[in-house]
Chain A
């Protein structure tokens, strides 16, 4: 199984390469990708350096152009596809049928991967993209149980990539407008969720309040750890009860499932987190490389080491991890 790691800048890319990523995925510095955060992603010069570094170490470079263009910005997405092709990247990760159609027609040699934002959860949806755009791989949304991943992989016309570790979207990717409902900006159109510019912290007698566009997402007592107010991970009232009505702050961690994912024939495991620091990428990549290597050497004896678990837990939201939808009881 290939290990696909995130990089929001050149130091993160180098960290991923250093720790043994087989492939690194990046984005351009604009709203053509789903991590359009201030200070993140690469300009042309950095991109040149990234390509050179990847080639020198014989790894793969993937570029995400995976938001949905609006007519007014269409040329920006075309340009992003052209730039990716010109840089000679190993694959373009895209979701929009218009972008995929353009890439296939204009750059027949460019390998295309269907982004998780394409929301393809079964073989018939994958066939749509495979037949029209000759995609070489598809990233599955984090909504399927392990048994369902097995079924999809068996029937899929293309190899499958799944998420292994990182922040967890509780909603099917590409099918969530919660952020734009509250803030006006969504992952599909703007490449952001719960954008930082909409966040406001305040402290008063009731505690520390985290707001998004003035909507109270959560409120913390001094003893409670406060997290970024991603709106699906706040505490809300339902039926008079206050709780994490959608999801707790937690990260996906599937190390325990590695043997099953390998047995299913999953082609690649993706680490989420282009918005994370180089140090984060370095540590997560190191652990996953070690785990994949250990599994490769002796699949029957594979066991998750306590040190790996501790490192990943320390890097997780709310210091807790979950198997997410892979494990039916989470659903």
Chain B
């Protein structure tokens, strides 16, 4: 089982990003995703700087470096940036939008299909494989059973299954909007957002009027309130055909997270229950913790 570090979904400044990747480069990660996937206004790193960081990480770690593309593309300038990202000539690209798929297919280059692409069945996967997809990160709402069925359907079509990467840890990216919810919460118009999401390195918590944590606001992205954690489901992840587990960066404690997953995969620690939701994986509402809910 490989371990990957997903792209940083929050807006961190240059120093925080630099320190974070310096720390991560020393950890047993097999894949590291770089790049901005949420908001094109965030410019702690330019494309060239991401590529520079990618080159650095390639020399100082064993990890495969992948460049993730922006998920919701609205402006013509964002489309130009996407084209340049696909033309980077250096790193594998994670496509988070069908435009990225189109650009990679036109260039006859392989790509990773990110979790924001709606690929829920073998026929859809086959269409993307024909366009160059080599790794599938299922939408975060997919269950183990669904993923197993998709892979079986791919095999039934006499095709090779792609590599499968499961979102195993972190706040789940759930939705994308034209509206910036962080700016809205601060009563600022999006066009004058003052980059306020940089003040929330782990996002901005949204809870019900009864104080139940529901979502995490991250600019135009809405994430799960709970952190998902599939460590306790490690054996089921192996059984369903996962090749890679994605750990999505948080501002604190990521080294411990990577180490915990690494110990389990090395057989040095049992996959014990840890705090975090895992409803989606078990075919339920994503926010549920199935052990607590008595559903497993």
* Chain A interfacial positions (CB closer than 8 Å to B): 68-72, 74, 95-102, 117-125, 127-129, 131-132, 142-145, 148, 151, 170-172, 174-178, 180-184, 186, 188-189, 213, 215-219, 234-239, 241-242, 245-247, 325, 328-331
Contact = CB atoms under 8 A, between A and B. Distances in A.
B168 interface: no
Given A128-B98, A143-B72, A238 B185 contact: yes
B127 A97 contact: yes
A141 B101 CA distance: 19
26 contacts: A68-B120, A71-B122, A71-B152, A74-B153, A118-B98, A123-B99, A124-B82, A128-B98, A128-B131, A129-B98, A132-B127, A142-B178, A144-B74, A172-B177, A174-B118, A177-B141, A178-B222, A180-B141, A181-B287, A184-B285, A215-B214, A238-B206, A239-B185, A241-B185, A328-B190, A328-B191
A181 B174 contact: yes
Contact of A216 (B150, B176, B210): B210
Contact of B124 (A97, A131, A184, A218): A97
B204 interface: yes
In terms of DSSP, what is the predominant structure of the interface of chain B? mixed
Most buried by B among A100, A118, A171, A330: A171
Interface residues on B, range: 35 or more
Interface of B: 71-76, 78-79, 82-83, 97-103, 105, 116, 118-128, 131, 139-141, 146, 149-150, 152-153, 172, 174-181, 184-185, 189-191, 204-212, 214-215, 217, 222, 224, 279-280, 283-287
Given A171-B176, A238-B205, A181 B181 contact: no
Contact of A97 (B97, B123, B210): B123
B285 A122 contact: no
Nearest to B101: A128
Given A123-B79, A180-B141, A181-B286, A246 B120 contact: no
A246 B181 contact: yes
A184 B283 CA distance: 8
A120 B102 CA distance: 12
Contacts of B177: 143, 170-172, 246
B162 to A, nearest CB: 14
Nearest to A237: B207
A41 B143 CA distance: 28
Given A71-B122, A72-B149, A101 B127 contact: yes
Contacts of A329: 189, 191
Given A68-B124, A121-B73, A242 B141 contact: no
B175 A171 contact: yes
A320 B72 CA distance: 27
A232 to B, nearest CB: 8
Contacts of A241: 185
A122 B73 contact: yes
Given A131-B102, A242-B209, 7 more contacts: A97-B128, A148-B75, A175-B116, A184-B279, A215-B214, A235-B209, A331-B179
B225 to A, nearest CB: 9
Given A95-B118, A178-B174, A189-B120, A246 B212 contact: no
Contacts of A131: 102
Contacts of B176: 143, 171-172, 175-176
Contacts of A72: 149
Given A96-B121, A98-B127, A177 B206 contact: no
Nearest to B191: A328
Nearest to A246: B181
A-B interface, 3 closest residue pairs, ranked by CB to CB distance from nearest: A98-B123, A124-B99, A143-B178
Contacts of B185: 238-239, 241, 245
A178 B121 contact: no
Contacts of B214: 182, 215, 236
Nearest to B123: A98
Contacts of B139: 177, 188
B209 A98 contact: no
Contact of A124 (B75, B79, B149, B284): B79
A131 B131 CA distance: 12
Most chain B C-beta atoms within 10 Å of own C-beta, residue among A117, A124, A236 = A124
A100 B119 CA distance: 13
A238 B218 CA distance: 12
A143 B74 contact: yes
B154 to A, nearest CB: 9
Contacts of A69: 120-121, 123
Contacts of A218: 209
A80 to B, nearest CB: 14
A74 B286 contact: no
